[in-house]
Each structure stands twice: as structure tokens, then as C-alpha cells.
Chains A and B, each alone.
Chain A
Amino acid sequence: MGRPSPLYFASRLSDFYNTRIYLKREDLNHTGAHKINNTVGQILIAKRLDKSRIIAETGAGQHGVATATVCALMGMKCIVYMGQTDIKRQSPNVLRMKMLGAEVVPVTSGNKTLKDATNEAIRDWISNPIDTHYIIGSVVGPHPYPDLVARLQSVISEEMKFQVKEVSGKDDPDYIIACVGGGSNAIGSFYHYLDNEQVKLIAVEAGGKGIESGETAATMATGRPGVIHGSKTMLMQTDDGQITEPYSISAGLDYPGIGPVHSYLHKIKRVVFDNVNDDEALEAAFRLTRLEGIVPALESAHALAWLGKHQFRKNDVVIVTISGRGDKDMDTYNKYMGEIVSRRLR
């Protein structure tokens, strides 16, 4: 599947921000995102548990594709629950899942996005506990999933440990920046540096149209402790404890909760949580594309956008995890291309 993924020195982006930027290229993995790290591990667990049927939820479709891929490899039946809204905005991934032999079940409850797809996958699992393994896609859900998925994604920072020295000459990075929805690429990027307080860890949530607008997926900024999908964690909700519908231009960050490990890391102030809006993420995506020739996923573009919100020192080693590639987002990028290229980048 292409591991280790390169830690790539982005020289023109570094010049632009006047610091040293390294990209952890999870976008170069087979299937185009970090999601495969988790599904490869979980399909082996499913085999070991003697399961014959795999279910999954997906938002952007990257986890669905990664699950359908390992199921094809292992000859297992695969059912992917996906919100109707997401099916429309991520159609290339829907087609890939179908070609891989997965059944994609449209979910029409709620906002028809990731939360609703997760509800439906949980209901399936409740109804099929014997032959079915649920490959959850992020560090969310009931125990042991948050821990299990974090361990499988920790390969990202495990590789950084030896790559940083090779490519930068420094022992440790000064910053690691990752986007966070449920938070699997973020915890994977942070995992082996959690005990190293010298390394600043930055998690970037999807601000949507702004955290004051009500149309946001920035859980840390707008949520409070609650229970969702078997986890006690920060949660976007009404005063009455009803879970609210999140919004982001990025389908993969569109989740009203966040992995419980992130709520903990936020509480103990080990990780800084910030958010960027749709337009900042779009601008960052086009900037990376034009400066480095890399089209990032809209999710990863949120991590990139944070580069513009902080003053780095010239010699800082700044790692940004590019969690996935942007092929699936071409419709959205195309829609904003004229506006952003003419107005923002010049």
C-alpha cells in the first residue's frame, strides 16, 4: 500500500510561509488517504474473529473505498452506509466502491451525512452480531474502537520518528498539524509525540461558514460533553441534549462529535484545537496545488489553511499531514476555481 509514506519537503510552500514545511503524504497511499491504514488492520482482525460480512459507514467515501478495497482483497461481503447528501457530493468514491463489489446503502435519515450513516451501521451491527464485523472509520464509537483505530493509524507518526531526522536534520519537529473530524489522521500523526512536550500539536476542525454562523462542524469550539455512538466526548448539541446537524464543505469532517481521546487531549491542553472556515480551506487547497503540484483532499486543506493563521520562525520544522488526495473533491474545486484563483492567490 506504499508505506512508509514520504515526508516531503515543500520548498515553494515553505518560501511562501517563510518557514520549513514538510508534508506527510498519506495522500499517496493506495486508495488515496490514510483510511487504508485502519482497514488493513481491521480486516485481519475480522478474519481472526471468523467474520464473513463487513459493514462500514462513510462520509467523504474514503473510508468506504478503503473498506471495500480490503474486502475485495479478502473476498468478504461488504456493505457501506453512506448519507444521501454525501453520495451526491462524493460520487467518484461511490462508483469506486461499487466497482470494488461493495453494496452502498443510501441513508436518508437526519441530515443524510456521516452521523446518520454511523447510526445506520450501528443498527445493522446490533441486528447482525454473529457473522458481521463493523469496520468503523475513525477514533469514535464504543470501546475499543477509539483505541483500536488510534493504534492502527499510529503508523503515521511512527514513520515520522525516523523520517524527520533524515529530511530536516532535526531530531523532532516543532509542529505537527492535522485536520480533525472524528480525528483518526490527527491522532495517528500525534500518537508517538504525545509524551514529547517540545512538539506542538495542532488539530484543525472544520469551521464551516464560521463558528458563529450555526453552520459549522467545529466540535471543540461549539460543543460540550455528551454521549454519541457509545463515546462520552465533546458533542455539538442543543440545550436539551439533542445532537445537532454539523455542516462543512468537507464531507469527511462533517461529524458532530469528536474522538474521545481528542476531548481528553484538549482538556489537558496537550493539543491545540483551532478551526478554519470553508473559504480558507479552499484557498489553501488551491495554494498547495499551484505551488507544489499536489491536489489535497478538502479535509487536508483545513490543516494547510492553519499555516496562514500562525507566525512560524524561519527555522521551525512544521509537519502538515496531507490525509488524502483531492480527486474526489474535483466537483467542489471546479465550482470555486474561477473565484479563488483570480481573487485570492494573486
Chain B
Amino acid sequence: MNRIDKLFREKKGTILSVYFTAGYPRLDSTAGIIEALADAGADMIEIGMPFSDPVADGPVIQYSSEMALRNGMNLKLLFDQLSEIRDDVKIPLLLMGYLNPVMQFGVENFCRECTRTGIDGVILPDLPPIVYKEEYFSIFNVYDLYNILLISPQSSVERITAIDKISRGFVYMVSSSSVTGSKGNFSDDQISYFKRVSEMKLRNPVLIGFGISNHETFIDAGKFARGGIIGSAFVNILEQDGNDFENINQFIKEIRG
């Protein structure tokens, strides 16, 4: 069974998924951050594949992506770094990034490497669902790799239903019309959008991401969905020379409260 399905089936409380950018703050940080997050109690990890033009991202992830590329990160190196990650880490691992680097790596090659290293799913916000369905679905399926699709406050009922139909694992609910990065607590409009989607009773579980930055927003995410995804707020605490492991432990504790 895909580890994502297993998590959603077995986990009782609110699911916490954490994003960071591979190759930031240091080129060789990747495995250490994954292990520290797993030890600290994260339920799932989204490993960012840095891209030169991250149009869905705010300043924090733009910066971490730029630095990671400057450090020399690329997909081949990332898969090398992940080669032995499954010796220790049992929670679901996903790759998140943009389509072009995956296309250049070769989609089939990419799926094969994901399987080899134990990656359970992929999030590519600039891959339209229709293109995924027509061109990539069959390849992803062969490798049992889940492609996670996103919905936003602008998504129609028809679109959400169609996305739910071709999704496996979970549906990624973007909390507001925005790029990544925190904006404080949720507004009434956001809460009513969460309720609206929750009442649709999708066949896939839902996680809320974009704008989840603290304990309060994380708890809210648990009320209207199965959990929340934290990205920029986490990337922010990673420092070039800091004590990453202590910071990570502390951060996860504060979010869970």
C-alpha cells in the first residue's frame, strides 16, 4: 500500500505535512532535514525541487530555491541524496516543484527514480490536471506514484469534482488566492470556502496548504480537513549555520502545541 494511503487510514489526529527546499540551506542538508523532521513527529514531508522561476511561490521559497540552485542542487543529485533515505525514514515522502525540470529529466525516468528511492507522491502546481490525465497518468500509474492536484478558492464545483476523480492520495487545498507564504490567521471567507469543500464529501482526503504558519492555523486546518501543510514558515527557521535539529524539534512542537 502507498504510504500516503496508509497514513490517512491509520492516523487519528491532525496530519502535519512539512515542506522544505532540497539543497537549502546547504547542498547536503537534504537527508538530515528529512530525518530530523521524521524524528520530531512530522507525518509527511514534501521535498522541494528548486526551480529558477517559481511563480507559485512567495519570497521565502523563492529565496531558498535560488540559494539551492546556487549551491548546485539538481534532480540527479537529489535522487542520489535520497538513495538510502528509506533505511531510516518510514513516513510518506513527496517531491514538490515545477514541471520543466521533471520534463527535462524525462517523466518515465523521473517516476522510476521516485520508485527506486521510495518517493510516494509528486506535487507539480504548473501541471494542469487535463495535461496530467492525458499525457502522464498512465506512466505515473505504472510506478504507483501519486500525483497530488491542487484546488483553490477560485475552483468551481465541477473542477473540484473532476480533480477529485483523477486524484490519488489526497487533494491539496490551497487556503487562499495567493502564492506561498504566511498571512496570519484565516478570514471568514477562507473558513466558508473550507466548509464548502468539506461539505462536498470528496472521495480523497484533503490537506490545507499555503498560509499555514502557526499553531492556530494548523488547528483550523484540522477542523475542516485532515490536516495542514507548512512550507515557508518552516524554511524560514532553517539557517546557514544554525542548529537545524534543535530548531526543527522546537518548531514542530510549537505547531502541534
Contact = CB atoms under 8 A, between A and B. Distances in A.
Given A127-B178, A128-B177, A230-B126, A237 B55 contact: no
Interface in B27-80: 51-53, 55-56, 58, 62, 66, 69, 74-76
A119 interface: yes
Nearest to A243: B52
Given A109-B62, A240-B74, A242-B69, A126 B55 contact: yes
Interface stretch (A24-32, A221-229, A284-292, A305-313): A221-229
Contacts of B166: none
Interface residues of A, number: 25
Given A126-B179, A230-B126, A237 B104 contact: yes
A227 B99 contact: yes
A281 interface: no
B177 A126 contact: yes
Interface in A238-278: 239-244
Contact of A119 (B55, B75, B178): B55
A243 B62 CA distance: 14
A2 interface: no
Nearest to B97: A241
Interface string A107-122: 0011000010001001
A115 B100 CA distance: 15
B222 interface: no
Given A115-B53, A122-B55, A240 B104 contact: yes
B162 interface: no
A212 to B, nearest CB: 22
B103 interface: yes
Contacts of A115: 53
B177 A226 contact: no
Interface in A110-147: 110, 115, 119, 122-123, 126-130
A123 B100 contact: no
Interface in A294-315: none
B205 interface: no
B177 A127 contact: yes
Given A119-B53, A243-B53, A226 B103 contact: yes
B101 A129 contact: no
Contacts of A70: none
Given A115-B53, A129-B177, A241 B100 contact: yes
Interface residues of B, number: 25
Contacts of A228: 53, 100
A126 B74 contact: no
Contacts of B100: 226-228, 235, 237, 241, 243
A241 B177 contact: no
A242 B101 contact: yes
A229 B55 contact: yes
Contacts of A240: 74-76, 101, 104-105
A241 B104 contact: yes
B67 to A, nearest CB: 13
Interface in A79-132: 109-110, 115, 119, 122-123, 126-130
Nearest to B125: A126
Contacts of A122: 55
B255 interface: no
B154 interface: yes
B99 to A, nearest CB: 5
Contacts of B154: 129
Given A126-B178, A127-B177, A237-B104, A242 B55 contact: no
B10 to A, nearest CB: 35
A122 B177 CA distance: 12
B102 interface: yes
Contacts of A123: 55-56, 58, 179
A110 B74 CA distance: 18
Given A227-B100, A235-B100, A239-B104, 20 more contacts: A109-B62, A115-B53, A123-B179, A126-B55, A126-B178, A127-B177, A127-B179, A129-B154, A130-B177, A227-B98, A227-B103, A229-B53, A240-B74, A240-B76, A240-B101, A241-B101, A241-B104, A242-B52, A243-B52, A243-B100
25 contacts: A110-B52, A115-B53, A119-B53, A122-B55, A123-B179, A126-B55, A126-B56, A126-B177, A126-B178, A127-B177, A226-B100, A227-B100, A227-B126, A228-B53, A235-B100, A237-B104, A239-B104, A240-B74, A240-B101, A241-B75, A241-B100, A241-B101, A241-B102, A241-B104, A242-B51
